Every structure is written in structure tokens, then in C-alpha cells.
Homo-oligomer: A and B are copies of this chain.
């Protein structure tokens, strides 16, 4: 029983963003097939949510592949769709547990050649940590805020800085904050004006949203 997979090759022409491969629900055979397929036509593959085991197998096949194990991402080849800009993106995270999501965003942004910096562990429970970084953060053009638990970081930053803000709720926590739903609802309810929100743990999506903004300003 053979089923063809139709990769969305025209997407980069239409919207200037390539389609990432979601690694979690694909087995290694599906991954190998889709990677081969894409590399033939485009020369660049970006896989998210891929575990060590599957990554290792693909690393064996493709010498130029690079696996970022803290971000669960694997890249093969070079993106020919670079975005030329001097705009810079800051990724701000409440705690070190938000690392994987922050890195997924960072790697996706950098794969387009855009500058990106992370500011980790500046959660609002210790406000001074954020305050001491505020001027530095203010130098960036777009802010991605990753936070789990009660997600208050997005609100505090949104009340202090004028940039576009993309909130990414993170699925760390336990009890009522387990799985990131409280952080999500908290960010959506923010009383700071104009904060936009992504799905839980969707670092890659936040990167794409930031690139849409940068491309609209070119």
C-alpha cells in the first residue's frame, strides 16, 4: 500500500516561508522519504520535534545534516530564501525550562539569516532580572516572549516596551499550569495592549510570525 506525500513546494513562492516537517508523528521511513523528496527539489529541509533516535538515523544518511538536540530540530542543506534585513529579533524566556521552545524559534529565525538573541531566566517573580536587561532588549525590533506557569512575562513586557510582541506559552508546570494552558489563556487575556499569541510550545510558528513582520517592512 503506497501513499504519496505531497510536499507544499510552492509555499515559499506564495508566502516566502518554506514548510517545516513535523517529526513527531512520522516514522523513520516516512521521514527518509519526505527528506529525499524535498532535497531533490529544494536543497533545504527543516524538521521540528524530531527525537534523538530518528535524528541519528538521518545524520547517518546526510553528512551535512545538523541536529540541535536541545531544540529537537534537524536541518539539512542551506536555505536559499534568506531574508535581507538589519532588523533583529529578541527571544525572552521566563525560565530555563522554556529553553527548547526558545531554541526552536531561534534556529528557525537564524536559518533565514536574521539576527536573533535570547534572554533567558528573566521571569517576573524576580522583576529586577528583567529590569536590568530592559534597555538591551529595547534595541531589538520584534520580541518573542516564551513563558510557562502563569505566563505573566508577556504582560509585563507588553506594558513596558513598544515593539510587536509574540507570546509563546510553554508547557512547563504542574497542577493547573501543566501542559501550558494557563500560560496560553493568561497571555490571551493580557491587559497590555496588542500582544499576539501562538499555540503552546510553537516556537517555530513564532519565528514564522516574526519573519512575516520583517518581510512586511522591507
Instruction: Assess whether A205 is interfacial by the CB under 8 Å rule.
Output: yes
**Complex interface bits, A77-102 against B, C-beta within 8 A gives 1, otherwise 0:** 00000000001000000111101000
Assess whether B186 is in contact with A8, with CB atoms less than 8 Å apart.
Answer: no
> In the complex, A205→B211 CA distance in Å?
21
Q: A58 near B: Cβ within 8 Å?
A: no
Distance between Cα atoms of A30 and B99 in the complex (Å): 11
Q: In the complex, A68 Cα to B34 Cα: how many Å?
A: 21
Determine if A15 and B96 form an interchain contact, defined as CB atoms under 8 angstroms apart.
no
- Contact of A42 with B by CB under 8 A: no
**Copies of this chain held together in the complex:** 8
- Do A189 and B164 touch across chains, with their CB atoms under 8 A apart? no
A191 in contact (CB, < 8 A)? yes
In whole Å, how far is A73's beta carbon from the nearest beta carbon of chain B?
Answer: 11
Known: A152-B150, A189-B173, A193-B19. A158 touches B205 (CB 8 A): no
Choose from B165, B184, B208 the contact partner of A176 (Cβ within 8 Å).
B184
Residues of B within 8 A of A65 (CB): none
In the complex, how many angstroms separate the beta carbon of A139 from the nearest chain B beta carbon?
A: 12
Please judge, given known A-B contacts A150-B151, A156-B127, whether A199 and B186 are in contact too, CB under 8 Å.
Answer: no
Query: With A194-B17, A209-B194, A216-B141 known to touch, is A1 a contact of B70 (CB < 8 Å)?
Result: yes
Q: Does A111 contact B (CB under 8 A)?
A: no
What is the CA–CA distance of A1 and B151 in the complex, to the nearest angstrom? 25
The answer to whether the Cβ of A196 comes within 8 Å of any Cβ in the partner chain is: yes
Nearest-neighbour CB distance to chain B for A84, whole angstroms, equals: 15
A22-B97 in contact (CB<8A): yes
Within 8 A of B (CB), among A56-86: 68, 70
Q: Would you give 12 A-B contacts (Cβ < 8 Å), ordered by A?
A: A1-B103, A3-B103, A17-B162, A87-B216, A152-B152, A162-B215, A165-B212, A171-B175, A176-B200, A177-B185, A181-B185, A213-B216
